C-alpha cells in the first residue's frame, strides 16, 4: 500500500504536467479556431468554408497537444502509438466515408464559387427547380410540381449547372404559322409595335418578329420577347404575350386565324 501511495505521489508532477498541457492546448485550439475563422472570412470566403476550416484546425491542434503531452510525460511509446493509431484510423475512415468526404469537398467548391444562391431557378444536370437550401454536402431544390429533391454536391460538380435567374432576363421564343397570302411587312411591323406595349415584356432588348421559314402554303414567324426571370418563372410574360398575339390575329387576320398555329419554344 505504501509503495502504491509513493508511486502516486511521485507521479503527481507528471500528471499535473499532462493536465496542464492538455488544458493549455484546449485554450490554444479555441483561440486558433477563432483566428482562422475570422481570417478566412476576411479573405472573402463563405461562412460555411470558414467554419469547416476552423473546425479542422481546432481538431489538429488538439491532437497535437495530446501527443505532446504524452511525449512530455515520458510516455513516448504511448505517444507514438497514439499518432500511428490516428493515421490508421484516418485511412480506414477515409475509405469507409469516401463518398461522404467527396460530397463535402465538392460542397466547399460550390460554396466558394457560388454558381447559384437560395431562391435561384437552376438546372443541375437533368433536374430543374428553385434552390430552397444550400448545404455543404447537398443542394435542395423544389421542382415546379412541388417535389423536394436533394442533390449531393459531388453530383452537382460533375454535371452542367444552368442558372436561369442570374442572367436577369430570359428570351421567350414563340412560333406563329400563317397562310402565305399575307402582307409580311405589315405583320412584322404591327405585331412588333403591339408587343412593345405588352405587360411584362421588357423594353430592352426590344421584341422581334421575323420570318424563319415556309411550310407549304404557310409562313412560319418567330416572335422573340424578353422577360425578367421572375415573370418568366411565373408564366406571366408568356400568358400576356400569347393573349396579345391572339388578339392581334383576331383583329388583323380574322379569316386566317382558324388556319393559324401558335407554338412556344424557349
- Listed in sequence order, the residues at least 6 apart from 168 whose beta carbon sits closer than 8 Å to its beta carbon are 228, 229
Is 9 in the same domain as 80? yes
C-alpha grid cell, residue 17: 504536467
- The contacts found for 32-40 with CB under 8 angstroms, 24 or more apart, are 32/57, 32/58, 32/61, 33/57, 33/58, 33/61
Residue 68 pLDDT class (50, 70, 90 cuts)? confident
Same domain? 54 vs 134: no
Residue 110 lies in a domain: no
Say which CATH number the domain at 66 has: 1.10.287
Q: Are residues 31 and 79 in the same domain?
A: yes
Query: Are 221 and 175 a contacting pair, CB within 8 Å?
Result: yes
Is position 219 within any domain?
yes
Position 68 in a domain: yes
pTM above 0.75, yes or no: no
pLDDT tens, position by position, 114-130: 888 888 888 888 888 88
Residues 141 and 184 in one domain: no
Is 219 strand, coil or helix? Answer: strand
3-state secondary structure of 11: helix
pLDDT one-digit tens code per residue, 171-205: 888 888 888 778 888 888 889 898 988 888 888 88
For residue 139, give its domain range.
Answer: 115-163
Domain boundary among 146, 163, 180: 163
Q: Categorize the per-residue pLDDT at 37 as very low, low, confident or very high, splitting at 50, 70 and 90.
A: confident
CATH (domain of 210): 3.30.70.100
Phi, psi of 246 (to 5 degrees): -65, -45
pLDDT tens digits for range 97-107: 456 677 777 87
Q: Please report whether residue 102 resides in a domain.
A: no
Answer yes or no: do 122 and 136 share one domain.
yes
- Are residues 174 and 150 both part of a single domain? no
Q: Are 154 and 82 in the same domain?
A: no
Q: Cα 217 vs. chain centroid, distance in angstroms?
A: 48
* Contact between 48 and 92 (Cβ < 8 Å): no
Name residues whose C-beta falls within 8 Å of residue 39's C-beta, 6 or more positions apart in sequence.
Answer: none
- Distance (Å, rounded) from C-alpha 141 to C-alpha 188? 40
Closest to 225 (Cα-Cα) out of 192, 249, 247 = 192
Residues 259, 176 share a domain: yes
Which stretches does DSSP call E strand in 183-242? 208-215, 218-228
Look at residues 160, 122, 136 and name the one whose alpha carbon lies nearest to residue 45. 136
Closest CA to 133 of 107, 155, 106: 107
Under 8 Å between Cβ of 153 and 138: yes
Number of structural domains the chain divides into: 3
Same domain, 174 and 258: yes
Tell me which of 67, 96, 125 is where a domain ends. Answer: 96
Q: Tell me, yes or no, whether 192 and 255 share the same domain.
A: yes
Confidence of residue 11 (pLDDT cuts 50, 70, 90): low
Residue 12 sits in the same domain as residue 82: yes
Residue 206: CB partners within 8 Å, gap ≥ 6?
A: 192, 196
101 lies in a domain?
no
SS3 160: coil
Contact at 8 Å (CB) between 179 and 157?
Answer: no
Residue 75 pLDDT:
58
130: domain CATH number is 2.30.30.60
Residues 70, 141 share a domain: no
Q: What is the pLDDT of residue 120?
A: 86
Q: Report pLDDT for 148.
A: 93
Supply 246's cell numbers: 391572339
CB neighbours of 179 closer than 8 A, spacing ≥ 6?
217, 218, 219, 256, 259, 260
Which helix (H) or strand (E) segment is 95 a member of?
helix 76-96
Amino acid at each position: 500500500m505504501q509503495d502504491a501511495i509513493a508511486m502516486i505521489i511521485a507521479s503527481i508532477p507528471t500528471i499535473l504536467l499532462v493536465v496542464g498541457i492538455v488544458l493549455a492546448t484546449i485554450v490554444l485550439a479555441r483561440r486558433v479556431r477563432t483566428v482562422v475563422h475570422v481570417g478566412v472570412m476576411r479573405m472573402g470566403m463563405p461562412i460555411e468554408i470558414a467554419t469547416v476550416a476552423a473546425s479542422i484546425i481546432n481538431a489538429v491542434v488538439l491532437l497535437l497537444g495530446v501527443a505532446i503531452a504524452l511525449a512530455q510525460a515520458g510516455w513516448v511509446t504511448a505517444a507514438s502509438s497514439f499518432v500511428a493509431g490516428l493515421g490508421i484510423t484516418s485511412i480506414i475512415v477515409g475509405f469507409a466515408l469516401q463518398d461522404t468526404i467527396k460530397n463535402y469537398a465538392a460542397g466547399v467548391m460550390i460554396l466558394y464559387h457560388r454558381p447559384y444562391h437560395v431562391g435561384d431557378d437552376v438546372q443541375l444536370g437533368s433536374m430543374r427547380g428553385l434552390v430552397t437550401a444550400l448545404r455543404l454536402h447537398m443542394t435542395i431544390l423544389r421542382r415546379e410540381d412541388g417535389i423536394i429533391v436533394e442533390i449531393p454536391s459531388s453530383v452537382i460538380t460533375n454535371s452542367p449547372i444552368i442558372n436561369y435567374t442570374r442572367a436577369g432576363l430570359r428570351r421567350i421564343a414563340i412560333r406563329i404559322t400563317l397562310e402565305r397570302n399575307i402582307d409580311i411587312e405589315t405583320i412584322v411591323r404591327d405585331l412588333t409595335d403591339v408587343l412593345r406595349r405588352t405587360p411584362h415584356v421588357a423594353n430592352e432588348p426590344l421584341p422581334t418578329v421575323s420570318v424563319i421559314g415556309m411550310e407549304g402554303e404557310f409562313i412560319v414567324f418567330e416572335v422573340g420577347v424578353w422577360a425578367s426571370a421572375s415573370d418568366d418563372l411565373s408564366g406571366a410574360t408568356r400568358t400576356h404575350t400569347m393573349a396579345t398575339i391572339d388578339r392581334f390575329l383576331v383583329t388583323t387576320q380574322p379569316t386566317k386565324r382558324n388556319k393559324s398555329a401558335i407554338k412556344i419554344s424557349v
